Every structure is written in structure tokens, then in C-alpha cells.
Chains A and B, each alone.
Chain A
């Protein structure tokens, strides 16, 4: 009996540590919004590949992926920490670990800061301009968008959009060594794509945002203006991606495919404007993600 007790004392701490780590990872992982972070990471990698670097370095590519993921995940966690009070009021987000009390505020803040510092630090170590753009993305997202503007004006999403456009610009700048018009056009493509994504979301969860007193386009300007904004931003996003594709030197075949995918985006945006329904809104929201991922894959395939 004594021997058994001793054995359990020596085994249990490591087992419980493992279990605790597993439990914490399970709680922390959703805080990074893996799908959204993954999509932004994909834009960063595509931006880098689009530069057609003469010397391909796996180390740089891994550094780019690692630092970007940490910085994006860090800013997402910090946003969740800052928005924990409004998340608790919204049906869609009230079950998040930050608002349901599964993790403490302190540990979320600590996690966000650690990820952000590691991500930006690693990015600066890879390249000064790359690090600066990654830091700008994080700063725009956490400080300008979440802390300053999100609860004051619906136009805050523009700054959220600018921060979302930073990974692709950073990737391109790292590959090229400077910022060029193609990088800026790719960034504009992502910037204009983001309202297509976020505004359809704010229409779908309009009541949630109203409950949390967060100003949105639908609550400020009405659904008609929001739908028109989505349509215009979709047109501009598609236009920017096609111009950037042409600038990168995409073959006609790939440009054709990009054109077909863009036509699908425009068709849905027009349908949302003139024949709106919950279903069409949802399909535009989903299609916009597929569109951006497909556009990024095309940029990468073109280079390979």
C-alpha cells in the first residue's frame, strides 16, 4: 500500500503536468482563431513567393511562417483579451474561453504578449523592414482598431482591414527587399476583401453587435448601404487581385481562372445587393474566404 502510494506520488506530477498542458493548449488554441490566422498566414507566404526570389531559402520561408503566425496569433489573443467584456454579451462569442471564465484575464494577456513579442522579435531579426511591417499590422489591429476605434465608429474596420493587409505586404517586402506597387496592390486586394468578409458577418450577427453596443455598418447606415459597400469592395478586391496577378506576370491561363473566381465573387456581391437573403449573405461570406485562399494558391502555383 505504501509502495503504491509512493509510486503514484512519483508518477502523478508528470502525468498531471502533461494533462494540464494538454488542457491549456486545448483552451489556448481557439484563442488564436486558427482558421483566420491560417488564411492571413497564407497571404503572407503568397506575398513572399510572389517576389520570385532568385535564392530560395527554406530557413527564411520557415522564419516568415513562424514569425507571422506568432504575431497574427498574438494580436488575435490580445484582441480577445481586450474585447472579453463585449464577447460575453454576444451570443456568438460568449462561449469563448476568455468570456466564459475558462482562462483568467491575466493568462490571456500574458499569452498574447508572449506570442506578439516572439513574433515581432523574430520578424525584426529576419529583416528590419519586414519586422516593421509586421509590427505595424499588430499595432493597427490591437491598438488602433480594437482599443481605440472598434467601440467608437463602424469605420474602425478599415484599420482592421489595413492590419489584415500587412502580412501579404510584409511577405512581398521580405522577398523583394523593398515595397513595390505590386505589393501595395496585393495589400489593397486583401484590404478590400476584408469588408466583404466582415460586413456580411456584421449583417448576420447584427443583434449580437447591437447588444454589445458595438457600432457596425448595418446599425449606422442600414442594410442597403452595407450591401452596396460589400458589392463595391468586392469589385475592388477582385480588380486589385487581377491587376496584381498581371503585375506578378501570371500566365493568361491563371489570370483566366482568377477572372472566373472573381466573377463568382462579383455575382454573389450583386445578388446580396439586389436580392438579399440570409442564405446569400452566408454564401458570400464563405465564398470570399475560398476566393482569397484560391487567389493565394494561384500566386504560389504561378511561381512554382
Chain B
């Protein structure tokens, strides 16, 4: 399936938004959230550029499953570190362990359901953290209401990550063509929600 001109435009805007977030969207944050968000938005930026250059076929690479877990893990880690001081270390351990588990289960051929379970648990916890935490914080008045946009972005990236992961594991939720048709728009809207949430939240 080939990239259309509109796909390229959407990917370019995604790359620009992610660049903006890395360059100027983290002023005033402490060290670990900056590292975590830079990694997350950096992966988004490079992914958008690589899809722009190589087309959707780049998503067929086996490394995509591993890389696609980096975004929710790093973004959720940054959020927890900033807003849930008591869970900092435990979430950091979870993020590192989950990433290693996904990398390991995707690198070693396995016949059982462990790779799928590992991905589902990782995306599930990280995705729910990005989805729920900003919404709860904004409802409680601890952040501005628009911070909940980060949560909306989290929901979308969680859906995107699961669609891609299950496609890669051979149990697609939607057909490959449908996922690819949706992907550039999903990536742009997700990034835009994150950037807007962090800026105005």
C-alpha cells in the first residue's frame, strides 16, 4: 500500500509537532521527565520521518513492535514522575522491565502466548496511565482542564499501538489496509493532542 500525498503531509506535520515538543515544549520540567518525553516524542519524530521516506512497508519490520512500546512507556513514565511522586521508582522499574520483556519475547521465537500477553500488559498499563492520569488530574483541578487532551492522545496512541502490535503478532483487530489508511491521521491527531495538552494544560 503506497503513501498518498495527503499521508505525506500528515506525517510531515506530525514530525513538525513532535519537533516542537522536543525543542520548546518541555521548558521547566525536571531531568527525568525531559529525558522520558524527549525519548517518546523523538521516537514519534523519527517514526514519522521514516514512514515519510520509506512508506508503510517500514511498519513490517519486526523491530516496530519493540519501538512502538517505547512511546507509551516513556510518556507514561514522564507523567508519573511529574504527578505521582510516590510511584516514581516503582513505575521506572515497571517501564524498564516491560521494555526488556517486550524486547526479549519479540527476539526469542516462542510458541506460547507470552509475547502477546507481555505486549498487551505493557500497552494496557502504560496506555491507561497516559489516558487516565491527565483526565483525573484535570478533574481534580490539579492541572488546567486542557491537560486532559494528553489523556485523549494517550487513548489514541494506545489504540494505535494495540492495532499495530496485534497485526504484527498475526491476530489483527482490523485489516492491514484499514490500519495503514488510518495510521497517518492517527499519528498526527495523537501528537497534536499531546502537544496541545502539555502546552495549555
Question: Chain A residues in contact with chain B, CB under 8 A?
Answer: 251, 253-254, 256-257, 259-261, 263-264, 267, 279, 282-283, 286-287, 290, 294, 298
7 A-B pairs within 8 Å (CB atoms) are namely: A253-B22, A253-B27, A257-B22, A260-B38, A264-B50, A267-B46, A287-B49
B26–A253 CB distance below 8 A: yes
- In the assembled complex, B93 has its CB within 8 A of some CB on chain A: no
B185 to chain A, nearest CB (A): 22
Residue of chain B at shortest CB distance from A263: B42
Residue of chain B at shortest CB distance from A258: B23
A253–B46 CB distance below 8 A: no
B22–A283 CB distance below 8 A: no
Size of B's binding interface in residues, CB under 8 A: 18
A85 to chain B, nearest CB (A): 33
- In the assembled complex, B118 has its CB within 8 A of some CB on chain A: no
**A251 partner residues in chain B, CB cutoff 8 A:** 23
**A294 partner residues in chain B, CB cutoff 8 A:** 19
Question: Contacts A253-B24, A253-B26: A260 and B53 contacting too (C-beta < 8 A)?
Answer: no
- In the assembled complex, the Cα of A259 lies from the Cα of B57 at a distance in Å of 26
Residue of chain B at shortest CB distance from A265: B46
Question: Chain B residues in contact with chain A, CB under 8 A?
Answer: 19, 22-24, 26-27, 34, 38, 41-42, 45-46, 49-50, 53-54, 57-58
**B24 partner residues in chain A, CB cutoff 8 A:** 253
A290–B45 CB distance below 8 A: no
Residue of chain B at shortest CB distance from A255: B23
Residue of chain A at shortest CB distance from B57: A279
Partner of B42, one of A260, A282, A287: A260
- In the assembled complex, the Cα of A138 lies from the Cα of B50 at a distance in Å of 34
- In the assembled complex, the Cα of A220 lies from the Cα of B99 at a distance in Å of 42
A257–B23 CB distance below 8 A: yes
A264–B46 CB distance below 8 A: yes
**A287 partner residues in chain B, CB cutoff 8 A:** 49-50, 53
Residue of chain A at shortest CB distance from B45: A260
**B23 partner residues in chain A, CB cutoff 8 A:** 251, 253-254, 256-257, 298
